[in-house]
Amino acid sequence: MEKMKAIVADAPGGPEVLELRKIQVPEPGPGQLLVRVSYAALNPLDTHARAARIEWNAPSFPMTPGYEFSGLVEGIGDGVDSAWLGKRVVSEAEWGGCAELALATASRVVEIPYAFGWQLGTVFYTCSYSAWHVLHTAGRLRASDTVLLHSAAGPIGLMATQIAKEAGARVIGLCGAHKFDFARPFGADELIDDRGDWVEEVRRLTDGRGADLIVDGVAGPEAPKNYEAVAPLGQVIYMGAVAGQPPPIDISRQLYAKVIAVRGFVVYTAMAQTGGEEKALIREALAEGRWKIPITRVFALAETAEAHRAFEARELYGKTLIEVGGEL
């Protein structure tokens, strides 16, 4: 049987469980595409799945990470239109991208716009759509709002900064102080060190009122600080939990007094509400360079474990890629 190179974790664990080895090339089943991978984008869910920290859409072991990846369609399964053959596509929400060849569901892939190169084509779909929808579809952003963004130097934080500023909102970004110089050119009005007393600083910057909309992909044990930093009638939206799940909410103590809302966010649910009307706008903004997705690190496939380690150590900025086939 034909073999290919792939990153494999036989059991949950730290980055060290990821190994480069030869495995069998998969066969596309009904409704599937076989994709020769160009790049895989490092997604937080890759690290969570590797460590068995997720339940929703969690892969079984042994598993190959690569939750979002791009490539050329080389094969099709039963029931798939042959017009897909040879097309450049990006797949997300399916594992396996850290391999020379990966399977993707035909109904879920997106053709990469002609104006995009391979690297932008790999990353545009997840972070740009997530940032747009968390602000506009879920957050119902207004030009008068003050928005507080956790992980402001990460890909969604940087995209959300640009989108919110273009909509007329004020943006306060949270990230490590050593990332300020990197994040500042993307337009945040203020940047706050997330390792200090950021709640007090948010209050100071808003004359004691707090932020109207807080977007948090970090969560963890310090998540309740959001309820102190949000303005009356404001909302906190969780779109991830890099630091672990937030503690349970005390509705009477944390929500009633300021009449705040707390909600979760999944981009697919939000996209289903709009019918794709935002797609042309997002692609135009990226193609014109009005919104930028900074790709700051590209690891080789053999360095996937190091990419996971660096991500979990909070050493990475912007978006990170893993080069598999490269510029196909």
User: Are 5 and 325 in contact, with CB atoms under 8 Å apart?
Assistant: no
pLDDT of 55: 77
pLDDT of 225: 95
Radius of gyration of the chain (CA): 20
Task: Find residue 18's DSSP bridge partners.
Answer: 9
pLDDT of 44: 87
pLDDT of 65: 97
CA-nearest of 97, 12, 63 to 301 is 97
**Rounded to two decimals, what is the model's pTM?**
0.88
Question: Is residue 127 left, alpha or beta, with left meaning phi > 0 and alpha meaning psi from -120 to 50?
Answer: alpha
Q: For the chain of 328 residues, list the mean pLDDT of each consecutive stretch of 10.
A: 93 97 96 97 92 85 96 96 96 93 94 94 91 96 97 94 97 95 96 95 97 93 94 94 82 87 87 84 92 95 97 89 94
- Give the C-alpha separation, 6 to 4, whole Å: 6
pLDDT of 31: 96
Token couple for 313: 């150590």
pLDDT of 164: 98
- Give the C-alpha separation, 9 to 17, whole Å: 5
pLDDT of 139: 95
User: Are 176 and 314 in contact, with CB atoms under 8 Å apart?
Assistant: yes
All domains of the chain in start order, with CATH: 3-112+294-323 (3.90.180.10), 130-271 (3.40.50.720)
pLDDT of 75: 96
pLDDT of 96: 96
pLDDT of 58: 84
